[in-house]
Structure 1
Amino acid sequence: MSILIGILIFCVIVVVHELGHLIVAKKNGILVPEFQVGFGPKLCSFKRGETEYSFRLIPFGGACKMLGEDGESDDERAYTNKKPWARFATIFAGPFFNFILAFVLAVIVISIVGYDPCVVTSVTKGSTVEAAGLQSGDVITNFDGDGISIGRELYIYFNFNELENRSYQITYERDGKKYTTAFTPELNRSYKLGFSYMNDDNPCKIGSLVKGGVLDLAGIRVDDIIVGINGTEIASGKEFFEYIQANPLDGSEVQFTVQRGSEVKTLALTPEFVETYIAGFTYNYGGREKTGPLGVLKYSAVEVKYWIVNTYKSLGQIFKGKVTADDFGGPVRIVSELENTVEETKSDGILYVILNLMNWAILLSANLGVMNLLPIPALDGGRLVFIIIELIRGKPVPPEKEGLVHAIGIVLLMALMVFVFFNDIRNVFFR
């Protein structure tokens, strides 16, 4: 079932992407001989106008085949014979339609369950941030110059930026009024297990892992759920937080129970002594709050922006050397995560299963849009680069040279796909 769901989600996202190319190509008078869903042998097809719409055996992917796309043509309706801006719009439309799909899905999800405001849930007594005036219930709208509309945006900030011994500015709302203050994080010397989670009433899910940290080395993964510690059952992030507050880690071995899908296991772990600068407050990272029609539109746009920014920042970690082979995932891992999502939410009813799958579709659609805009040969972004070069030079790059660059890009992408596939198999089935 999870495989079928994964295929369906992936197909919808890819078809919408290719549909973007198709619609804008036709608007610009470009002839599209074939629009195909999937690859491999043709299963069935029908023709409408001058375009044949075909469905193929392998349901991964699709293509909008434009006349002259891979070579020169004398036909005035050929892709290569259109002006640069017409070609630019046609290529850009694919990723843009992925962002539109993500937005539409976000509208549905947020209209039903609401958005996650960045509400302060607790402030450490005697901390510098308490002295600066921050209180529980305040809504953070800006942190260190980054606009904050939802709790997950602040989570991204903390995930990609370690706090330092310097002043940080916070803007927050309280009783309808805005306030701005500043604080300097405090150096915290404590024992850690190396992960983050949400301090709320939802299951205590692993939000992120410190590379080389205790949980990371123990084989724990993001989205695993903490269900117990030292024999005490944990039903939520709030319960875990309260347990740690009452029983601080001190370097002694702890019995850590986690759930992954239907599998539950207990590990004996020894916390690691670390020195880090801490903010001194916790905030809402997943709890939802309903909003009106205009709010739904606003926070749906924020949702898409969140995943776009998250994708770009995650890619940036590659160049900083903070990403390992285990972090790369493809279809196999996605299907595995979808299966976990279904297992975790099916007890809440079919509506919540569908909503969580839609959240996955939002993530994947925004991710595909971003990835396709990267300036990599063979991807839409690579083709856009050649059009921009043409606009700057006043003439196109010779087709044979551009074709060679894209051919090399295809080979490299195929090699990456093979690597990701086998990496998925290793991580999903042999860890």
Structure 2
Amino acid sequence: MQTLISIIIALIIFSVLVLIHEFGHFIVAKKCGVVVNEFSVGMGPRLLSRVAKSGTRYSIKALPLGGSCAMLGEDEDNAEEGSFNSKPLWARMAIVVAGPFFNFILAFLLALIVIGYNGVDISYVSKVTEGSNAYEAGLRQGDRITKYNGATVSVGREIYLEDYVSPLDGSDISVTFVRDGKKQTISYAPDSEERYIVGISYYETDPKATISSVPKGSAMDQAGVVAGDEVVEINGTKISTGKDLKEYIDAHPFGKEEINITVKRNNKEKKVVVVPQMTKLYSSGFVYNLARDKQSVGGVLKYSLVEVRYEINTVLKSLKMLVTGKVSANEVSGPVGIVNVIGDTYNQTKSEGFMVTLFTMINMAIMLSANLGVMNLLPIPALDGGRLFLYIVELIIRRPIPKDKEGMIHFIGFILLMVLMVFLIFNDIRKIIL
């Protein structure tokens, strides 16, 4: 039953994201005078349909999987009046960009709901360790951080993202902050110490002791533990929450002795033996805020835009890590993996009550909507970004690319995307089984 509910929730989220994406193409195509042959909700055979005076068929189809917008002459060498290819270059570019742009609009609207209700984690310093390099450099509790190592930040999660993407390595830390209305910038060396660690990240506030990341080559990585696993026991001590995990680690610092850890993955427990590694650790010397504070109407609008920026940056930085090899292809999730994550998240939060579960699902939708928008803008053939790239080439060379060549480029891109999809689905299933 729980699996069925998880699948239904995932289908609803996916369908809304795709439908809004296609609606973006539809509404801008209409404004540009392009004939839309059909706009459908769902896929597969038609259940209901009606042809409007404009000639557009509006359909509801059997499979509740997003929707589609079929424009006249979109993939053909058709220049008749009202066809997609008869329109000027700026109009075709606007229609293509509209789909991803509407995904960003949806992410913004959903962020308004979440931030309006829950508030936002403003990026101020909640604690500075006395005697640390940060303290000596002048950083104090209450300072509002606006830049961290060159990255603009407005919420605490953006600082976490920077540390995750570019872990401290001994290089100087640059922090710009505001205190009493005055902006200051400091630079200092991170604090360092050597100790045994297993190599995991987690949130102390997590209702479950879920591992958020596992560095490549760490002790946990070598033991087969992956991000998303839930720690349930360490050396015979039961672990239920992120707070339990922190308290255990604080009370039992790791040494060179082996550790028996039990993790839960897809509701299956797995016992692993972990050998801690002596590692030089670097610290910024301060703790930043991750708790949410309520905002005024203006603050809700501002931080909803920040939320979209944060999600877009997360996708772009994750792609960079994938390309540079900091993240392996095995850590990338496809449709099955995303459904599984949505299901796990639902199961973990439902005991916290309806509102917690609802807003957690909305947060998932914000992340996925921004993800869909960014991925569709990548210059990959068969995606919106691939079409946009060819239109930019057309703008530069001042003549249209022959439709047969454009069609071949998109066909090859489609085949490659299908191969990638098969790999992702296989990888998702493998991770679930294992």
TM-score if structure 1 supplies the norm length? 0.92
Counterpart of 2:341 in structure 1 is 337
Bigger Cα displacement from structure 2, 197-206 vs 349-358: 197-206
Counterpart of 1:422 in structure 2 is 426
- Residue 290 of structure 1 aligns to a residue whose secondary structure is coil
Q: Are the structure 2 counterparts of residues 422 and 60 from structure 1 closer, same or farther at C-alpha, using a change threshold of 3 Å? A: farther
Counterparts of 2:203 and 2:265, CA distance in 1? 17
Query: Of residues 48, 51, 58 in structure 1, which corresponds to 2:56?
Result: 51
Counterpart of 2:95 in structure 1 is 90
Encode CA deviations 1:276-298: one digit per residue, 9 max, x unaligned. Answer: 4332333334x211111111111
- Residue 226 of structure 2 aligns to a residue whose secondary structure is coil
Q: Are the structure 2 counterparts of residues 131 and 226 from structure 1 closer, same or farther at C-alpha, using a change threshold of 3 Å? A: farther
Counterparts of 1:275 and 1:221, CA distance in 2? 22
Amino acid at match of 1:97: F
Counterpart of 2:164 in structure 1 is 159
- Unaligned stretches of 5+ residues in structure 1: none
Amino acid at match of 1:54: S
- Residue 36 of structure 2 aligns to a residue whose secondary structure is coil
Counterpart of 2:174 in structure 1 is 169
Counterpart of 2:70 in structure 1 is 65
Counterparts of 1:293 and 1:326, CA distance in 2? 42
Counterpart of 2:136 in structure 1 is 131
Counterparts of 2:178 and 2:209, CA distance in 1? 28
> What is the deviation of 1:204?
3.9
> What is the deviation of 1:357?
0.6
Counterpart of 1:208 in structure 2 is 213
Encode CA deviations 1:24-64: one digit per residue, 9 max, x unaligned. Answer: 00000000001133333333322223111223344434321
> What is the deviation of 1:152?
1.1
- Residue 33 of structure 1 aligns to a residue whose secondary structure is strand
Query: Alignment length, in residue pairs?
Result: 429
Q: Are the structure 2 counterparts of residues 136 and 225 from structure 1 closer, same or farther at C-alpha, using a change threshold of 3 Å? A: farther
Counterpart of 2:358 in structure 1 is 354
Counterpart of 1:117 in structure 2 is 122
- Residue 170 of structure 1 aligns to a residue whose secondary structure is strand
Counterpart of 2:283 in structure 1 is 278
Q: Are the structure 2 counterparts of residues 62 and 212 from structure 1 closer, same or farther at C-alpha, using a change threshold of 3 Å? A: farther
Counterparts of 2:428 and 2:338, CA distance in 1? 9
Bigger Cα displacement from structure 2, 290-299 vs 40-49: 40-49
Q: Are the structure 2 counterparts of residues 249 and 139 from structure 1 closer, same or farther at C-alpha, using a change threshold of 3 Å? A: farther
**2:394 corresponds to 1:401:** no
Amino acid at match of 1:407: F
Counterpart of 1:298 in structure 2 is 302
- Residue 212 of structure 1 aligns to a residue whose secondary structure is coil
Counterpart of 2:151 in structure 1 is 146
Query: Of residues 368, 371, 377 in structure 2, which corresponds to 1:373?
Result: 377
Counterpart of 2:36 in structure 1 is 32
Amino acid at match of 1:115: V
Query: Of residues 363, 367, 374 in structure 1, which corresponds to 2:367?
Result: 363
Contact kept? 1:261, 1:340, Cα under 8 Å: yes
> What is the deviation of 1:171?
2.0
Query: Of residues 99, 105, 108 in structure 2, which corresponds to 1:100?
Result: 105
Q: Are the structure 2 counterparts of residues 374 and 48 from structure 1 closer, same or farther at C-alpha, using a change threshold of 3 Å? A: same
Contact kept? 1:199, 1:283, Cα under 8 Å: no
> What is the deviation of 1:236?
4.7
Counterparts of 1:151 and 1:264, CA distance in 2? 33
Bigger Cα displacement from structure 2, 402-411 vs 240-249: 240-249
Bigger Cα displacement from structure 2, 100-109 vs 117-126: 117-126
> What is the deviation of 1:326?
1.5
> What is the deviation of 1:265?
5.5
Bigger Cα displacement from structure 2, 108-117 vs 215-224: 215-224
Amino acid at match of 1:22: F
Contact kept? 2:16, 2:66, Cα under 8 Å: no
- Residue 241 of structure 1 aligns to a residue whose secondary structure is helix
> What is the deviation of 1:174?
4.6
% identical aligned pairs: 48
- Unaligned stretches of 5+ residues in structure 2: none
